[in-house]
Structure 1
Amino acid sequence: MTTPRTLPHDDYITAVSEALDKAGLEVKDGRTDDSESRGTYCYLSAVIELDMMSVGLQDEQPGLLLIWEWHTGREAEHGEPDRGPVWQFAALKDDGSTEYPTDLPVYGYAAPAAVVEAARKVISSEIKPGNFFNSGQWQGWTGGLIGGSWQKADQLEAACAEWDARE
């Protein structure tokens, strides 16, 4: 029997998923991974799929993905993200594909409650696909950053940096 690999962000994504469920935004699926980028570098990732039936929108929107990624920054010179974490969202389409992910206006290590609030704003269309962070300002979203950072953000950052050093 193989023991599942533990990743630095497992506990964080579990905390966010539990907060979403508790708030009535049921998690349909969730997974963490250490993904390859450009076939050379790795990054940490998580995808949480919300069950749109739990919010009564299954007819209007098949699903909503909340995406968390932590990048090493090594591939930034090739147009990939700088070092650190980011939250994004993408709507699922009827055919199972997604739109291009859009940044969520939360800290990279956002408190679970902040991710819940941001997800609610996506569901209510206050935050729309295409709202993005550019040159230090949000384009299309005027509400600023939502909520604060997770209470264990420093520990998570250290664990991600340790993971990066081993990769």
Structure 2
Amino acid sequence: MAGRGRKIPKEISDIFDKYIHNNVRHLKQDDAINLLETEFGLDKEQAKTMFETFDRDKNGIMSIWEFQQFYICMGDNAQEVVNKFQELDQDGSGKLDVNEARAGLKTLKTATGRSLEDKEIDFFVQTTAGEDGTIDLGSFTSLLYRLKLYNSPAPPKDVKIHV
């Protein structure tokens, strides 16, 4: 099984273990949503979106490994991420359209502290948006995590970025 032998950091297992039953290290959807609401201050809809985003195998259960991925991406910043998403979601639709996403990405910095170039913004929007061309809260969370790790220099002015 994937992940055997890898140790879960104590702070992650301490949170997760408060919600498990009978020492089984996975949470059914309702228990996982309760954890996300209680521990990270998310409302029910936000918690459901996070559950659906991080339930990678789509089995309706959050494993300790899936929770670890959520925690690595969001950690104690869950409310900040949600607030930033809501701030960018000008029309209150619960999704960022291309213009909202572009405007938001112009305000964010990469791992090296620089602003994104327009062609990089286009790349991130295109690779993050769903089939309907919008970005939901879960995808936005993943995008912010990618930006946190993104330490590439700005692309040369004459280079086009293709998706």
Band the TM-score falls in, shorter-chain normalisation? under 0.3
Choose between structure 1 and 2: higher helix proportion: 2
Query: TM-score, normalising length from structure 2?
Result: 0.28
Larger radius of gyration: 2
What TM-score comes out, normalization by structure 1 length?
0.27
